[in-house]
Chains A and B, each alone.
Chain A
Amino acid sequence: MTAKPQTAALELRRAAEGAASALPPLLVAAEQLAATVQMGGHGRRRVGPGEEFWQYRPAHSGDEARRVDWRRSARSDQQFVREREWQLAQSVHLWVDDAASMRFSGAPEGARSRPTKGARARLLALALAVLMVRAGERVGLTGPLAPPRPGRAQLQTLAGLLSEDASAEDYGVPQVAGVAPYARVAMLSDFLGDLAPLEAALAALADRGVSGVMLQVLDPAEEEFPFHGRTIFESMGGSLSHETRKADDLRARYLARLAERRDRLEGLARAAGWQFATHHTGHPAQVPLLWLWAALERRRG
């Protein structure tokens, strides 16, 4: 064995460790968050391929002899067949908005600091993925990079992808490529950008029979608009700006617009058979996670 392949292997290993080192914090946080959700039954309540015991039934003609449960049959004169509960793995696609607007936090420092919206959204998404994987579902991202797969290895992949540098776009556009028909989609975004692409994406997904949830992640500052005086507001990417002499005056109208947008988003979700909710980064993450879990659970039946 020469020295050169050894060096190459070491290089690879180091790069891998470097890449992996970024993952554990997010993954650990996601696992912690997921641990707070009590696992419920996920069986389909009917006979089918699965791992859990469902019922014994008398064997009838046509059953293969190897399916007879001899231990049960030995206690009577009949032969019994052991049936299992049908457990069907679902495919869940996650879309986490990685646009510049998600990098906003109303209080980035200090004792009452809040995470950025993006961080909270990634945490929620990965925690949801952990739950899904634990439940045996297949989890992936929308788009081509990470198609849904089961297993914990997929979590590493997802964590890696979610930790990647975000795009420079001001507002995110949902990707719908690669979503299998009848899959589930969870969208996490602030939904502050143009609504037209979202509408189109929802329509495309609804066409494919895809249902899902939309979670709007907002910073409390966006909800309260606590600004005064002469101000120039700029979007995170700097592409949009708006100047005002008296920010106080804008507050009521801003809030009205925000409420209108939320109504519209809800309308969109309802029309597509989706669910919609809003989460503020100032609140704990458990609440939206539970909601996400339950919302996806309901729709799985």
Chain B
Amino acid sequence: MTVFGPIGFTAPWLLLGLSALPVLWFLLRAVPPAPIRRRFPGVALLLGLADEEVQAERTPWWLLALRMLALAAAIVGFAGPVLNPVVSVPGQGPLLIVEDGSWASARDWSRRVARMKEALSEAEGAGRPAAILMLSDPPPGPQPFAAPGDLVPGLAGLKPAPWEPGADVPPLPDGRFETLWLSDGLARPGREALADALRAHGALRVWQPAVPVLALGAARIVEAEVHVPALASAPVPFPVEVTAVGLDPAGIERELARQEISLSAATRAEAIFDLPPELRNRVTRFEVTALRSAGSVSLTDDAVKRRKVALIGGAPTREGLALLSPLHYLQQALAPSADLLEGTLDDILIAKPDVIVLADVATLAEPDRLAEWVEEGGLLLRFAGPRMAAAESGDDPLLPVRLRAGGRSVGGTMSWGEPRQLAPFPEASPFFGLTPPDDVTVRAQVMAEPGPELAERTIAALADGTPLVTRARFGQGEVVLFHVSANAEWSSLPLSGLFPQMLERLAISARPAQPGQAELAGTTWRAVKLIDAFGRLEGAEARSGIPGEDLGEALAGAGAGPALPPGLYAAEDRSVALNALAPGRELSPALWPLDVPVEGGEAPRAMPLKGWLVLAALGLLALDILAALAVSGRLRGPRVARAMVVLLALGLGMMPGTGLRAEETTMDPERAIAAASNVVLAHMPTGDPEVDRIALAGLQGLSDTLFARTAVEPSEPMTLDIERDDLALFTLIYWPVTADQPAPSPQAYARLNRYLRGGGMILFDTRDADLLGVGSASPAARRLQALAAPLDIPPLEPVPSDHVLTRTFYLLQTFPGRYDGPIWVEAAPPDAERAEGMPFRNLNDGVTPLVIGGNDWAAAWAEDARGLPMFPIGRGSAGDRQREIALRFGVNLVMHVLTGNYKSDQVHVPALLERLGQ
């Protein structure tokens, strides 16, 4: 292969053909395009006519250039050009392939395998033996060299490990060999030592991808937000997305939240998730989107979980007695680390809390449901108190021990003896390891009936051996009883720092931080789920238990290893996540000595250009056909024109859509605020500027009337923008109908229907006085039928004399505008009955969504800028009276929309009065 700059040629001698191009120039230019022969009797008349334009009998230069370009493209294409050719320099001696094999290698594992395969095939071609050394899983002895062909099948079985290689130099083969080190790109201790050792044996080449390595650290909670640290070995130029993954209520794993962070400036950033507790407790892991690597997965454990704790106090708390409340200290202790629920037991059980705390509750409201909840795995925590001491507890099933009635009091004013201190916690107790402070004293407690299981159930006792905390299992759950009250009345325990620690041990409150090494000592953990190097979760049933010390060491900073793969470990009710990224590990790119050649994994791939060039040559030749036709005048006629149109249409059709963008469908915020902040009347635009002007002026007049006479003080009326406005903000829509009004779009109709269903009202006004009567149609009425057809309209009837519209503010019997015609409203239900002693029927359901009439109300309401009527009505004082009634109708209408059938409820007044009298 011959290489010129970035392009190499597989058959460079073919390029000599380019020198023949000038010859072609002369050959091609001598040949004019062939003329068409035509039989034509009229030729006799043509004889002697010379062409006006004298044209050289030669091919036009651009056609010539086109042809030469096509030919040149073909010649260069067949010479086999390759962009970024791979030029290999053969090495000597055996080849050792070293692969880091860590989680950071997993993201481009297939490319690594391809690179190894390439190296092996090269070695095979050169007859060199080869060996592969995985640093994350080093063999016990030196790796023997073998024929490369035998190693290739094993490549598919190679898997990266979800941990990082150790710092020790693995055993290396003797003698001289060349090394190809596939680095994962992370700096770590031991890398330089190994590099030196390898270079002592021969040449070292390094293959290392240029893309920075990304990893997620352990998530933790800071002030109710989940912080997930993201680390990168170098600034990442693109935004990184971190997703929270967990089970949905149906048990299917889903993405629960997504956060975008930028690592373009720093190598460390935090993705902050502000999740509701319900969602946060479902999160099982965080991961970097679309990155397959164990390092980009961060499992969550108890540190991110917050229990839902329901608090139920026995005594209704009185104002000002917060410190005496039995729940106060519990709230203070649990609030930072748990989500507290308060309410009645009924409501709380629906919320499925993890823990229910009953403080001094002696009689349970629903013992069966509570017992069921406990048996399904709930933790019931009970505190004693005066009520419990006073109650007969023999039949309370939800107590770990039977209680003696009365309790006992020590060290009080009326008793002998000192207040008791706590005994050290026994080894079997979950509180083992906590030291009871000296100042915690107990003055009163409830006593347990002695029994065979009392000692077993006691997990904390007083110095005199009487139980302080007892525990018993019920089904899958358990019941824990503190024999003292939850407030400071009976003991100083709730005041001490021991109290929250005890709650934490009972897994009631979440652990604030990773458990320390000392804390884990002596415990045994088992793996629940493990992460493989690609970040996939696997079950870990067949694993043996892990001593707490090892886990503690790993969590303290040693990180995961072959013996302790990353994953989720659990002991009893507690769980701990061990992530692939060791705690405290900082990522930085690996640096190599300057004389070590480093292949970028991102090297541009060799790209053969032959196909493209030959394609270009063919395209140019096709163009040449068209051009030759055009030059010889054969590219004419209707057929060609049609073909061109079709081609053009195809071309345009294939261009990316430049269609109109969907129009913005949201309401202008300022307009929305104006409409939402007060009662606003609105009218539908008709497209007729005069009608719109009158409608707006009419609504203005009605608004002014309402302002002057009623408690409704509307803002300026608006003209609807039906396609964009949020209709829910408008109280009443006045819709004047003109004969040539454009219909709203289907989307707008959907919004109108939603508006009507949601309690809105539309006042349709055909403005034709309904002169033609029912059933016949004026142009406006016909248009109204067409406009209203897509609306959900209930059955209608002429407004009955007892309709609530007749009395929502004024007592009215007619509803005139400029005309005085009938109006139609939603029909009353057929079973409406006249109430006893009342002049109207019992119609107290629903506001009519529609009022339809033709009285041209807007014209009657309309006022000009000076507040004077815009249009005359009737004549003389009768006309003024009609205008007044029209305004009263408007007031009634708005009142009807705003108050619904409040006035109709008067039907119940006698009954209410009767009840009040009792």
Contacts and interface: CB of A to CB of B under 8 A. Distances in A.
A193 B44 CA distance: 7
Contacts of B595: none
B671 interface: no
Nearest to B33: A230
Contacts of A102: 41
Interface residues of A, number: 37
Interface string B257-287: 0000000000000000000000000000000
Contact of A254 (B35, B49, B52, B634): B49
A249 interface: yes
Contact of A258 (B33, B45, B632): B45
Contacts of A241: 43
Q: Of residues A192, A233, A243, which shows the largest number of chain B Cβ atoms within 10 Å of its Cβ? A: A233
A101 B44 CA distance: 10
Interface string B636-648: 1000000000000
Contacts of B633: 228-231, 246-247
Nearest to A222: B42
B45 A229 contact: no
Contacts of B55: 245-246
B709 interface: no
Interface in A213-233: 219, 221-222, 225, 227-233
B40 interface: yes
Given A242-B49, A246-B51, A250-B49, A229 B36 contact: yes
A261 B632 contact: no
B53 A246 contact: yes
A221 B39 CA distance: 11
B37 interface: yes
Interface string B27-67: 00000010111111111111101011101000000000000
**B39, B51, B632, B634 — most chain A CB neighbours (10 Å):** B39
A249 B633 CA distance: 13
B911 to A, nearest CB: 91
Most buried by A among B46, B53, B55: B46
B38 A231 contact: yes
Contacts of A192: 41-42, 44-45
Most buried by B among A101, A230, A253, A257: A230
Nearest to A247: B633
A8 interface: no
Contacts of B33: 230
Given A104-B40, A104-B41, A245-B51, A233 B634 contact: no
Interface string B895-913: 0000000000000000000
A231 B51 CA distance: 11
B51 A101 contact: no
A245 B36 CA distance: 10
A274 interface: no
A244 B44 contact: no
A234 interface: yes
A190 interface: yes
B43 A242 contact: yes
A229 B630 CA distance: 9
Contact of B51 (A117, A225, A244, A258): A244
A276 interface: no
B629 to A, nearest CB: 9
A171 interface: yes
A261 B45 CA distance: 9
Interface in B714-760: none
B632 to A, nearest CB: 5
A222 B45 CA distance: 10
A235 interface: yes
B49 to A, nearest CB: 5
Interface string A83-107: 0000000000000000001101000
A236 B41 contact: yes
B39 A242 contact: no
A219 B41 CA distance: 10
Given A171-B44, A236-B41, A244 B632 contact: no
A257 B45 contact: yes
A111 interface: no
Interface residues of B, number: 23
A117 B42 CA distance: 13
Main secondary structure of the interface of A (DSSP, over half): mixed
Given A229-B632, A230-B33, A240 B42 contact: no
B48 to A, nearest CB: 8
A32 B38 CA distance: 35
Nearest to A219: B41
A234 B44 contact: no
Contacts of A117: 41
B417 to A, nearest CB: 126
A234 B44 CA distance: 9
A225 B42 CA distance: 9
Contacts of A232: 35-38
Interface in A20-72: none
A54 B800 CA distance: 101
A228 B38 contact: no
Contacts of A230: 33, 35-36, 632-633
Contacts of B40: 104, 221-222, 227, 233-235
A246 B55 CA distance: 10
Contacts of A261: 45
Contacts of B45: 192, 254, 257-258, 261
A231 B35 CA distance: 5
B853 to A, nearest CB: 65
B43 A233 contact: yes
Contact of A242 (B36, B46, B632, B634): B46
Contacts of A243: 35
B49 A244 contact: yes
Contact of A235 (B43, B52, B53, B636): B43
Contact of A228 (B37, B44, B47, B636): B636
A253 B47 CA distance: 11
Interface string A245-269: 1110110011001100100000000
B35 A250 contact: no
A240 B44 contact: yes
B52 A249 contact: yes
Contacts of A249: 51-53
Contacts of A245: 35, 51, 53, 55
Contact of B41 (A190, A227, A228, A253): A190
Given A240-B47, A247-B633, A227 B38 contact: yes
Contacts of A234: 37-40, 43
Given A104-B39, A234-B39, A245-B51, A229 B634 contact: yes
Contacts of A219: 41
Nearest to A100: B41
A230 B49 CA distance: 14
Residue of B42, B47, B52 contacting most chain A CB atoms (<10 Å): B42
A254 B43 CA distance: 9
A290 to B, nearest CB: 26
A104 B41 CA distance: 7
Contacts of A171: 44
Given A229-B632, A245-B55, A235 B44 contact: yes
A254 to B, nearest CB: 6
Nearest to A104: B41
A249 B51 CA distance: 7
B639 to A, nearest CB: 12
Contacts of B634: 229
A190 B636 CA distance: 29
Contacts of A246: 51-53, 55, 633
15 contacts: A102-B41, A104-B40, A117-B41, A192-B44, A192-B45, A219-B41, A231-B36, A231-B37, A232-B37, A240-B43, A241-B43, A245-B53, A246-B55, A247-B633, A254-B42
Can you list the 5 inter-chain pairs with the closest CB atoms, starting with the nearest?
A229-B633, A101-B41, A230-B35, A233-B43, A257-B45
Given A102-B41, A231-B38, 6 more contacts: A219-B41, A228-B636, A229-B633, A231-B36, A235-B39, A240-B43
